[in-house]
Amino acid sequence: MAQVVAQRFPPPQFTETSHVLPVPTEPAVRALGLEDLDLVVLIAALALVSWLVLRKRSRRGVVAVGIFSVLYFGFWRKGCVCSIGSIQNFAQALSDSSMGLPLVVLVFGLAPLLFALFFGRAFCAGVCPHGVLQDLVLLKPVKVPAWLDHSLRLLAWIYLGLAVVFAVTGGGYIICQYDPFVPIFRLSGSLTMVLLGVSFLLAGVFVGRPYCRFLCPYGALLGVAASVSKWRVRITPDTCTQCRLCEEACPFGVINKSSVNAPAPPRVHDKRRLLVLLVLLPVLVAGGFGLGGLAGGALARKHRTVNLAERIQLEEAGTVTGTTDASNAFRAGTDSVDSLYAQARAVQHRYSVAARWCGAWIGLVMGLKLLSLAIIRRRPDYEADQARCLSCARCYRSCPQELQRLGLPVPEPPKATNG
């Protein structure tokens, strides 16, 4: 997902013919002309899906573009560079002025967000190979309870915070490292990651896009952008008949119910609840800030410098027996043990600061989620939630008004049955 550096020098010639060079974990760098092609395809696909969803209202067209995206961005491009992983490139570039941001990463990171600001989540609908691959295996969708859906969606924001922490501290790109679908696109990878990807696809047979909805950090950002989009998915082309068929057709649970027939709750209860949550918000932020500081040390141990320093310290103290390849390589070098310890302390400090802000971020997200759930909105029609709607266009054909517009037969509504 991150931009890969080209191999500048040929591999050394070993006298032992049995030596096998390790297989690179990232695809080779593409020529500039092919990178330009990627950008053109990305913008064209985003524009085409936006038109298909908002003007053409065509689910079939969205699926066709999605299949192309899986083949192009997934299997041919091997899932790299992708918009999801670009979050880490941006975080590292903003925290370290010496880090450059290639044009292809810049466009892949910003273009879907800009489209979401105007046209909703077109990227999720038919451009992102991760999402489309899950959408294609969705055969028997089951409804996820609303309370569980809202709770699980917090994981994407937590994942986003952790990804930024590891990126700005030099700990690695965990979104790329633990991407469950890239091993499928590359037809290679560790057994653990392959099994994880297969598990997501098996879950996706019943749960609509589990990775997109509950873990994808880029999808969380797209949701924020789409929440203020000028143009959005409108289920009915005319008047909502309150038939609720769109609610049944959506496998992602993003149809907001009409409140026409719902009794209005007492306003005094709403005000009290909002006041309590507003007071709780800074408490959650402060608590997250403190807990983040405690977690910083544990996260820092994942960094190679801290890990090596702790190993060297144990070996120096005689607490462990034997050595490791990393400790042997260090002792064969020119750096002193004191220099290594100083570097490790600097890394631990960076992790401590970043983890505190990550904890505050998580507390803020949780508080804002509670506030959003406490605010009751009056809606005249059944409508797709702008932030959570994946623009899949499934709900259109469920609407009797849409079927009438297309000149298709409208099914009879189900007859009410007595208790």
> What pLDDT, in 10s, does the model give residues 211-230?
999 999 999 999 999 999 98
Average pLDDT score over the chain: 88
Tell me: pLDDT of 376 over 80: no
Is residue 298 scored above 50 in pLDDT? yes
pLDDT category, 385, cuts 50, 70, 90? Answer: very high
> How far is it, in rounded angstroms, from Cα 105 to Cα 100?
10
What CA–CA distance (Å, rounded) separates 180 from 198? 8
User: Helices 83-95 and 103-119 sit at what angle, rounded to 10 degrees?
Assistant: 120
- pLDDT tops 80 at residue 414: no
pLDDT at 266: 56
Computed from CA positions of residues 96, 97, 99, 103, in that sequence, does the dihedral angle turn out positive or negative? Answer: positive
For range 352-356, the mean pLDDT? 94
Confidence of residue 185 (pLDDT cuts 50, 70, 90): very high
Of the ranges 31-45, 147-161, 267-281, which one carries the lowest mean pLDDT score?
267-281
Question: Which pLDDT band, with edges at 50, 70 and 90, does 66 fall under?
Answer: very high
Among 226-235, 292-301, 369-378, name the one with the lowest average pLDDT. 369-378
Per-residue pLDDT, 269: 58
d(CA 232, CA 390): 11
Q: What is the pTM of this model?
A: 0.86
Instruction: Write out the H or E segment, with its range, that includes residue 246.
Output: helix 245-249
Work out the average pLDDT over 300-328: 90
Percent of the chain topping pLDDT 70: 88
pLDDT average, residue stretch 196-212: 96
CB 146 within 8 A of CB 213: no
Query: Which pLDDT belongs to residue 5?
Result: 45
> Which pLDDT does position 23 carry in this prediction?
54
Interval 26-56: pLDDT, tens = 555 566 678 889 999 999 999 999 999 999 9
State yes or no: pLDDT of 268 exceeds 60. Answer: no
Amino acid at 177: Q
Contact 274, 374 (CB under 8 A): yes
Beta bridge partners of 383: 256
Q: Give the pair of three-digit tokens for residue 147.
A: 């309370």
| 3-class state of residue 196 by DSSP | helix
pLDDT at 29: 57
Extract the runs of DSSP E, i.e. beta strands, from 205-359.
Answer: 255-256
Lowest mean pLDDT among 152-156, 274-278, 356-360: 274-278
Q: Once rounded to an integer, what is the mean pLDDT over residues 125-130? A: 96
More confident call, 368 vs 10: 368
Four-residue CA torsion sign, 290, 295, 297, 300: negative
Q: What is the band of 7 on the pLDDT scale with cuts at 50, 70, 90?
A: very low
Look at strands 383-384 and 255-256 and give their pairing.
antiparallel
Residues near 418 by Cβ (< 8 Å), separated by ≥ 6? Answer: none
pLDDT of 341 above 70: yes
Give the pLDDT band of residue 254 (cuts 50, 70, 90). very high
| Residues belonging to the chain | 419
Distance CA 250, CA 393 (A): 9
> What Cα–Cα distance (Å) separates residue 417 from each residue in 100, 414?
65, 9
Backbone angles phi, psi at 384, to 5 degrees: -75, 135
Q: Quick check: 419 pLDDT over 50?
A: no
183 neighbors 194 (Cβ within 8 angstroms): yes
d(CA 181, CA 137): 13
Looking at residue 193, its pLDDT comes to 93
